Every structure is written in C-alpha cells, then in structure tokens.
Structure 1
C-alpha cells in the first residue's frame, strides 16, 4: 500500500533562565553559600496531516494536533562549608525545588475529536545533605556522606492524584593519588533519577499520528552505581586523560509496559543493568588550540515485559563518540573562541506492545560555534548546527496484535531531515 503524506508543522516558543548566588564568610573556617535558579519555557505546537492511499484507493485521512505547553523550575539552595581541621572538612545544606508543567492537547482525526485533555503536574522536592572529606594520608582522601530526598507530586486537570516519595542517597568515594600526575578513584553511590514531568502527559506519535496515553503511576528509576576511574595529567601542560568503568544495578527501569493485551504505556518494568567504559582526552594541539575526544561504550540488559526475553534497555545508544577542536583568540579587544565539533551516535531501539522501532542517523552531527567574552562577565555564543544535514531514519515493524502473539502486519520506514539551524545564547554574571 503506497501512502503519500502531506504534513505541515508550526512550532513556536521561548525559554529563559536566571540564576544568582551569594557567598559569605562566617569566620576563617566556615562559608555560607546561597543559590537561586529559575527557568520558564513555553511551546505552541500545531501539526496538520493529510494521508492519501494511492493503490488502495481509500478515502484520505486527515488529522490536526494542537498542543500548548508551559513548564518551569525554581531552585533555592543553601550550603555550609566548614574546614574543621587540616584533615577534615564538611559540606551540608538544604535544596528546595518547585517544578510544574501545564499542557493542553487537542487531536482531531477526520473531523472527530480523538483527544481533548488539560493536564497539570507539580512536583515539590526537598533535599537535605551532609558530606565529609577526610585526608586519611597525604595521598589518600575519603569522601563520604548522604542526601535524603522527599518529593510530592500532584496531578490535576482531567486526572487528579497525589503521591509522595522519600529516598536516601548515600555516597562514598576514595581518591588515591599515585603522583602529582596520576589519580585513581573508586566510588559507590545510590542514585535516584529526577522525574520528567512530560512523561505524565499524553502525547501523539509523530510518525503514526497515534495517541500515546500517559501513566500516572510512573516512578523514578533508582540504581546503585559503582565506578572506577583513572586520571592522568599530561606533561608540559598537554592536557589530561580520563578512563572510567561503571556499573549500575537498576531498579524500576522506565520503559513500555503492557496494560492490556493490545496496549502499553510508559511504566516501571523491573530490574536491569547498565555498564560501560568512558574515555576522555583533552590535549593541547598548538598555542591556544585544544582538542577533545570522548568515547562511551555502553551495554544494558532488562527483561522484556512482553515476551520475557532478556534484551537491551530501550533508547540506549551503545556507542557514542565526539571530537572537538577549539581555537582561542585571547588577545583581541573582544576575546573570542571558534570551535568545530563532530558527534557520532549509534542506532538504538525502542518498542511498544505491538511495534519495534529501530532509529538511526544517516551521518554524524557536525556543528560549529563562535563565542565572545564581553566585559562584565558576559558571554555571547552563536552555534550553527547540523552542517551535514543529518537525517533521522526509523524502521518500524508493526505486529497484528502484539510482539508476543507474532504476525507482522506491516513494515514502515520514516525519514526526517533535521536541516540546518542556529542557536544564540547570552549569559552574564552579576
């Protein structure tokens, strides 16, 4: 069945962020620091689709999606730094966070309203923390402590619900300095991923134009994380090399889960694992010229909730590498930097109860930027992105009822050209 799609989109919006911090000395051994950050963003999105089925000769399919989204975050944090003696110091404090998202979604298909929802999700979070640093030996340092996180999530609009969470997050890190140029690090900590409030809102699949309902009972992904890292400072101010191995024992993996024999939603599907190797090289290529190379190799595993098989976690790219060259001109009347960055990301896979999607890019991402350092600690940066006109390609296998039942209904291929685009960022410190 040949299908001709006519698609038009309009996507308008804005985002901004403000921050401030203030530090004051209580005495020669103690400092109090206040931090405040606030950001807001708004998006007004509209997409109209007309599908013509050429060979089948059926009627056209028309749909209209309109979505307005407003979200923001406010963070207030106070930290106390105390040097108790030459071998022991501590850091403690409190962080308060307020997040929200408001979304109105309208989906009309062939003149019939398929979705008309109004959702608001608010998260209020408080984190208390204390960490101590001991210099056990001249070459051996121990960092140990914990934070405790409480959060309250309220949903209103078409669905009303309130939930509370509490998680302790202990952390231990041991640094062993072999020499002035070489350091080993061993760390273990409990990590709790922050909620993405957009996961609690309904959405529309950009390829199939199908409604994707949210799951109000979604919880954060938790993990115990272990890492071993080696760092070496290169001779003659040549830069540094970092190599790290990490392992994550994950609870409540966030992925698609079945809610009926033919429907799935984003939820928590049980335990999983993630481990990998990360290498980063930052080196001087010439005077005022630096090069950076980063490589990440990742492997994951989780039990598929649809058929019980062990598979990779959805959405994870198994290798990513980036290379960047940056030339600085510090002696100009307005100092500036020029950079070129290339990133390659391997394909990844995600699935629902009745489909498997394999997503890849035709080329890597090549970006360039210019950054000016203006007086009064102001920076202006212009990025020009996707110089190679990268294309995102999706191969989709649709099953008649479900992956478990088998029976391939159709194979689809989607191609999305991202085009060339620019970003302008202005930042300042007062």
Structure 2
C-alpha cells in the first residue's frame, strides 16, 4: 500500500461517526464587511485566552510572521487591536496567549488589502481586546515518551495582565521545553548492493528555553500611544547519541556523540505614535542580542583496543541587531504611508576544530574561514497607497527599495553594496456575498543567515561547509491568488494558488575544487496550491463536531550547479495533507478528537551526496479534553499512534558529476508513542 493510500485509509477511519492592550484605548467599532466572531461563538470550546479563540475560527489558518530584514512591512496574518507587533522575539501569538478570554471583545476576519497596514493580504484576523483589572493565566504541559526519552516536566507558562490609569501591562514567564529521541538501525550498502556496515544508534535531546517578558502600553488623552517590550531568555540544550557499528571484515566500534548549547538572548523594543499635521507619525526602535555557544564532540572506540578517534567542534556566535524605523500615515483620497528604516546586523563568530591524537589529547587543527565578523547596514524607504475603489473592490500599492552594505572581516571576507527594488500590489474583490478574492504581486528581498558566510562542520553527519563570503540576498517575484468561500452553517473554505520566481536563490553550491557551502544559484521557480477548510457537521446531525482539512502541493525547479540538470530546490516541501476532528459533546464540558498529517519533502543535494532526512510518513494523534473541572481545563493527548519514524535515505558518491557511488545509507529509527497532558487555568 502506498503512503498516500495509507493516509487516505487513516482519514476515512478518523472521520467516521508585545504589545499590550493599550495599542487602542477603546476597541474600535465593528467594521462593515468583516466576518466577525464574538466570545459567544466560542463558548462551546471554553477558551482560556485570546489564542484559544483564534485557533477555533472556522477556516482561518494562522500564518506566522516571516522574519524579514529588519522590521519591514507587515507579514503574517494576525493583528491585535488593529496594530501589527513591532518586535521579533515577542510575537503576536505569544501575546494573544497572555490575554484572558474575558478581555476579548471580538475577532474580525478582514481582507488584508482593505487595511491601512502595508504588506498584508488575504484573510487577516484582528483580535479586538480591552484592558481590565488584574488577571492572569497559567498552563503546565508535561510530556512522556515510551522510548529513548526522559519525561519532560518543565514546559509551562504563567502571565499577569492589568491596567492602571493610562498604563496597561503584561508580565510573562514561560519555558519552551521539549524532549525528543529516537533509536534503531541503519544499514550501509556498497554500490553493488552488498552490506558494508550495520549501525544501531539511540539519541535523546533535551531543550529548555525559559524566558521572562514584559510589555507596557500607554495612551494619552491627546491620542498619542506608546508601547515598550522587553524579554530575556536562557537556552539549554543537551544532545546524547550512543551507537554500535559492525560489519563484514570491520572491527566492532562504539560511537558517542555529545552536544551542548548554553546561551542567552534579550530584546528591548518600543514605539511611540502621535498626531502630526494631517496624519500620524510612529517611531519604532529595537535592540536584540543573542549569544549561543555550541560544543560538539564525537568519539569512536574500537573493540580490538586500537586508539580511539574523535573530533570536537566549538562555535561561539554573538548576534546583534539594531533597528530604527519611522512611519507616517495620512488620508487623502485613500490611505497613504511613507516609511523609512535603518537596520544594523552583526555576527561575531569564533569556530575551532580539534582532532583526538593517539594519546587521548584533543589537538587543534586549521579551520579556514571559521572565524570572522559579518556585518550589514541596510536602509529602506517605501511609499504605500491604498483605497476602496467600489463597495466590492479595494487595492493597495507599495513601492520603494533598499540599499545595503555587506562586509566580512576575516575568513576571506570582502565588502559589497547592493540596491534592490521592492514593492507590492494587491487587489481585494468581493464578486458575490460569501466570496472574497485577493490577488497580490510582490517583489521581496530575502534575509541571509550570516552563519552561511563562515566555515562549519557537522561532526555527527560527517558534513562540512567551506563558508562563502560571496553570498548575496535572494530576491523573489511572488504572484498569489487566494479565494475564501463562506459556506454558511457548513463552514468555510480557502484556496490559494501561487507562483514564484527566485533570483540568487540560496542552495548548496561547489566552493573551490573540493568544498561546498550555501551559495547563490541564478534562478529558481516554485509553483503550488493550498486548500484549507473547516466543515461544521451540525447541519448533517452531528452536533458539536467539525473537521479541519488542509492539502498542499508544490513543484520547484532549479538548475543543479554541479551537474547542470534541473531538479527540485533542496528540502522543498512537495506535498502535505492534514485532517483534524473535534467534537464538543453537547450539554457537557467534554471534548474529544484527533489529527492525522502527512508531508513529503524534496531531497537535499550536496557536492557528494543526495538524501532525504525526514520523520513520518504519517503522524496521528487522539485527544480528550475536560473543559471545566473546578475552573481548570485538562487535556490528554496520545501522539504518534501511526508509528511515524525518523528516516534518512541518502546516496553518497565518489563524484556526483560522473556518477560512481561510494555507499547507500538506509536509516529507520523508532520514535514511539508520545503522551502529553496539559492543565490550564486563570486567576
């Protein structure tokens, strides 16, 4: 049975029987033409906070904000009191999770092109909330796995919100903890199909990221508003992998991998908006810093007593980002905005590589290009105009560009300057009641990962990047059509079609005669569709039940820089399907349901190998929820019930250009069932 057939069978079985609320002192009136939901529409779910409500809006799919260069124009599709969040670490979804459900006035689903916020398109959720007295919420989410992983007991969050005179505030403490693990066999075959080696490995990773956050909002009697947010986070990650390797004619070997990450980050940002002339001026500032040192050690010991071999890689990278932005907007035959932004990004990185000598001492070895400083100064200016053309048609046009200066000190660095046009044109059309259509054409400049400029090694997977000081940001032309159909009592469905042309796409390219690293390829294309729906089952007699469905297909093409052949973009998502069932049992405070999901990615293409590392093929879970037990919400989830595994299928070549194969790797590691429990409440 094929993977898609197994997924279809599973679907058939399952579907049988940071800124505080002061961004507006008083919630805005209901917007004509918006699809509006009030707290009464979510009563059956017994939500604890605004995010719980938003996640139950029929047919609406939350899109995370894209991490743009600097702050840039708005991305994502969620607003709070009609405003975007002018931060990075403290995203709007985290903020919604700290707003008690009692403070939510309504949720509006609007078309992005009808808003006076540049960059938004398609369905956008505006969560309208009011400030109240002191209130709080909390959640604890322990998790247990049957194999390879210790219990995770430290994931949770607590927040307090309130208002005093013209000040609103939210204080939060959370730990984004995650424990994971897998284990099983790997077979290594020679090019002729004979067995070269068998490996049995087991690994576990423990990640804890406690974070303190605070947001303050102020609103003056003259209509001026100000917001301030700050966060501080520690990062703890430990990875342990142990394995045994045997094979015909080979000495048995025990291999140990250890990785440790200890770091921290902080962010401070704010904005101040006030009336100026016939419009309003908003000034925004942000300062972000991250230090993330990583230590990885791999050692192999032999059963015949031969000296152990090992390697150690140490990397300490310090990232800094500073942003100053101004936005001036006014109305004159439509909505106008002029914006200007300066952003400074810097990476100071030190990398060291060591090899274990026969005496058991780690000796340093050269790692050219591993230590350097990368900086970028970027200036952006944009002008945006939007207006309603008719009762059923509106548009938004944004044009501008950016100038950036990239420099690298050390590692063969150099300095370069770029000028890039940017812009967006979108049209929102309502051809008939219950149908909304949005078309958008956008020119986007992508964000580079500064670590890609520098040499690095992956000791566990025996891969290395040579570093590439010649990297330039990719630029993308994006054309998108999205149609949203209201099905009345039956729910809602959304179809999105898109096509992209990417210039200077970042993929793995040859460096020198034998090296490889992320680099630019002249051009690539990407085309796809997404179809997402919510179907309420009350009209067919199953009261309190609903189905959430999603399917997507994508095709990409890029010319391989090594062979010259057309192939997919490395690791590009090619297809996925998801189904979620939730049944809120009428006249009770019980709910149950489940989810199944499938996804498939393209292979990764490197200088000497082609492979696919993934988990699946199908994930499945069931849950049961008590929505009100003495004021608490309790939920138990049994995950990975369809036995998804961790896999890596790759072919390693002597030379991929000419075709001779060195070996073929076939890895299957068991993950096992995942059991999680959550208890949440308010105070």
1:410 aligns with 2:663: yes
2:518: which partner in 1? 266
1:378: which partner in 2? none
Q: Which runs of 5+ in 1 are unaligned?
A: 329-337, 371-382, 423-430
With the length of structure 2 as denominator, give the TM-score of the two structures.
Answer: 0.52
With the length of structure 1 as denominator, give the TM-score of the two structures.
Answer: 0.80
Q: Where in structure 2 are the equivalents of 1:347-366 lying within 5 Å?
A: 347-362=601-616
Q: Using a 3 Å threshold, how does the CA distance of structure 1 residues 145 and 362 change in structure 2: closer, same or farther? A: closer
1:7 aligns with 2:257: yes
Residues 599 and 616 in structure 2, CA contact (< 8 A), matched pair in contact too: no
**Cα drift, residue 67 of structure 1:** 1.5
**Cα drift, residue 96 of structure 1:** 1.8
Q: Where in structure 2 are the equivalents of 1:12-411 lying within 5 Å?
A: 12-26=262-276, 30-52=279-301, 60-85=308-333, 88-111=334-357, 112-116=363-367, 117-235=370-488, 240-282=492-534, 292-322=548-578, 344-362=598-616, 387-388=639-640, 391-400=645-654, 402-411=655-664
Deviations 1:271-300 (A, max 9, x none): 121000022335678999987544331110
CA–CA separation in structure 1 for the residues paired with 2:342 and 2:492:
36
- Larger proportion of strand: 1
Q: Using a 3 Å threshold, how does the CA distance of structure 1 residues 11 and 361 change in structure 2: closer, same or farther? A: same
Worse overlay, 122-131 or 35-44: 35-44
2:118: which partner in 1? none
**Cα drift, residue 315 of structure 1:** 1.6
Match of 2:451, SS state, is: helix
Aligned-residue CA RMSD in angstroms? 3.8
CA–CA separation in structure 2 for the residues paired with 1:43 and 1:416:
29
1:375: which partner in 2? none
CA–CA separation in structure 1 for the residues paired with 2:467 and 2:581:
42
Residues 404 and 418 in structure 2, CA contact (< 8 A), matched pair in contact too: yes
Deviations 1:55-81 (A, max 9, x none): 9x9764211111212213233322122
Residues 366 and 385 in structure 1, CA contact (< 8 A), matched pair in contact too: no
CA–CA separation in structure 2 for the residues paired with 1:256 and 1:341:
35
Residues 384 and 397 in structure 2, CA contact (< 8 A), matched pair in contact too: yes
Q: Using a 3 Å threshold, how does the CA distance of structure 1 residues 366 and 129 change in structure 2: closer, same or farther? A: farther
CA–CA separation in structure 2 for the residues paired with 1:239 and 1:35:
39
Residues 105 and 115 in structure 1, CA contact (< 8 A), matched pair in contact too: no
Deviations 1:192-218 (A, max 9, x none): 111221211222124333432111001
Q: How many residues align?
A: 399
Q: Using a 3 Å threshold, how does the CA distance of structure 1 residues 327 and 10 change in structure 2: closer, same or farther? A: farther
**Cα drift, residue 234 of structure 1:** 4.2
CA–CA separation in structure 2 for the residues paired with 1:386 and 1:7:
30
Match of 2:402, SS state, is: strand
Q: Using a 3 Å threshold, how does the CA distance of structure 1 residues 242 and 81 change in structure 2: closer, same or farther? A: farther
CA–CA separation in structure 2 for the residues paired with 1:25 and 1:217:
45
CA–CA separation in structure 1 for the residues paired with 2:365 and 2:671:
29
CA–CA separation in structure 2 for the residues paired with 1:36 and 1:385:
41
Match of 1:271, SS state, is: strand
CA–CA separation in structure 2 for the residues paired with 1:239 and 1:19:
39
Larger Rg: 2
Residues 348 and 359 in structure 1, CA contact (< 8 A), matched pair in contact too: no
CA–CA separation in structure 1 for the residues paired with 2:408 and 2:637:
37
Q: Using a 3 Å threshold, how does the CA distance of structure 1 residues 110 and 221 change in structure 2: closer, same or farther? A: same
**Cα drift, residue 324 of structure 1:** 6.1
Worse overlay, 239-248 or 45-54: 45-54
Deviations 1:168-225 (A, max 9, x none): 1132212211134211122212121112212112221243334321110011222221
Residues 202 and 211 in structure 1, CA contact (< 8 A), matched pair in contact too: yes
Match of 1:253, SS state, is: strand
CA–CA separation in structure 1 for the residues paired with 2:393 and 2:497:
20
Deviations 1:249-283 (A, max 9, x none): 22122212223453332211221210000223356
CA–CA separation in structure 1 for the residues paired with 2:583 and 2:263:
33
Residues 207 and 414 in structure 1, CA contact (< 8 A), matched pair in contact too: no
CA–CA separation in structure 2 for the residues paired with 1:75 and 1:243:
36
Q: Using a 3 Å threshold, how does the CA distance of structure 1 residues 227 and 54 change in structure 2: closer, same or farther? A: farther
Q: Using a 3 Å threshold, how does the CA distance of structure 1 residues 261 and 213 change in structure 2: closer, same or farther? A: closer
Q: Using a 3 Å threshold, how does the CA distance of structure 1 residues 262 and 202 change in structure 2: closer, same or farther? A: closer
Higher RCO (CA 8 Å, separation ≥ 6 residues): 2
